[in-house]
Amino acid sequence: MLVGDHYTKPSRPGMLAELSSGTSWTLLRWSNPPGARWGFLGAVSCVGPSYCMLAGTVDRRTQQNYSTQWQGSGGLKQINTPNPPHARWAEIAGVSCSSATDCVAVGNYENAARHVLTFSLQWNGAKWRFLPGTPNVRHQAQSLFNDISCASATKCVAVGWSVSPGRHSVTHPFAATWTAGKWRFGGSRPNRIGFVRCLVPCRVLLRGGGLLRPAGACRAVERLVLADSQCCADPRRNQCRRSGARLVR
């Protein structure tokens, strides 16, 4: 499964989702939901061959969280996906499912004071609920999640970056873990993390191979080409296939 967006009008992206049979691709989504001016799918997570959770954002006068699920046959089923209270806009940046009844999504929103902050949601098979204590980097103008990966229903790692205040802003990546019902901040340093998948015991890697911190079960690589795809990795070669052709390392 891969997701992203396409453009038929300038500044008005449309949602894109395709499913691979192993030999060919089938188009699942090429348009936005009814009533949406624009939208995009930025994240997908699949559990086996018969369940995928897709997430992103849509604009219905205000930019709102969006999610939909694919259950092995037929089309996509949209899910009611709440925005954080008093959000001026919101978007889901990453989602990871350990089962069809347990997914965690991370994203970003602007509050009433125009501060850009992170949020997280958990799917229980019936509805989304907000997780408490989602971390934000102190003394930064913005904190943004970019991706999440869950090795189990109780262990997840999320990555993102913060933006320093002032005219000459600097981005700082950070990692956070969701373990035993609590978020824990994992620290940051100048650089950027774009993509993370929990696959094998290793360390979180930055672009260029720099080490951020021990993570126990995650490997991070720079986001490339499409918004997201369900990852198929060979840890022996430290490679991950995207859209059946391209490799990220």
Which amino acid, one-letter code, is at 7? Y
pLDDT tens per residue across span 210-234? 333 333 333 333 322 234 444 333 3
Question: What's the mean per-residue pLDDT of the chain?
Answer: 77
Does 95 have pLDDT greater than 90? yes
Specify the higher pLDDT residue, 133 or 227. 133
pLDDT computed for residue 140 by the predictor: 85
Which amino acid, one-letter code, is at 15? M
Specify the higher pLDDT residue, 8 or 182. 182
pLDDT computed for residue 74 by the predictor: 75
pLDDT tens per residue across span 159-199? 998 888 887 778 888 889 999 889 998 765 555 444 455 44
pLDDT computed for residue 126 by the predictor: 96
pLDDT tens per residue across span 9-63? 777 899 999 988 888 888 988 889 988 999 999 999 999 888 999 999 999 889 9
pLDDT computed for residue 72 by the predictor: 85
Segments forming the whole domain that contains residue 74: 2-248
pLDDT computed for residue 169 by the predictor: 79
pLDDT computed for residue 38 by the predictor: 92
Does 102 have pLDDT greater than 80? yes
Q: What is each CA distance from 85 to 3, 127, 191, in whole angstroms?
A: 27, 17, 31
Structural domain count, the chain = 1
DSSP codes of every residue in the chain = -EEEEEEEETTEEEEEEEEE-SS-EEEEE-SPPTT-SEEEEEEEEE-TTS-EEEEEEEEESEEEEEEEEE-SSSS-EEE--PPPTT-SEEEEEEEEEEETTEEEEEEEEE-TT--EEEEEEEE-SS-EEEPTT----TT-SEEEEEEEEEEETTEEEEEEEEE-SSSS--EEEEEEEEETTEEEEEEE-SS---EEE--SS-EEE-TTS-EEEE-SS-EEE---SSSEE--EEETTTTEEEETTTEEE-
Does 129 have pLDDT greater than 80? yes
Does 109 have pLDDT greater than 80? yes
Q: How many other CB atoms are there within 10 angstroms of residue 206's CB atom?
A: 20
pLDDT computed for residue 240 by the predictor: 31
Round to whole Å and give the CA distance between 231 and 44: 10
- CATH number of the domain residue 122 falls in: 2.120.10
Quick one: which of 180, 208, 177, 178 has its CA closest to 194? Answer: 208
Residue indicated by tokens 């995650």: 218
Which region holds residue 125: left if phi is over 0, alpha if psi is between -120 and 50, else beta? left
pLDDT computed for residue 243 by the predictor: 32
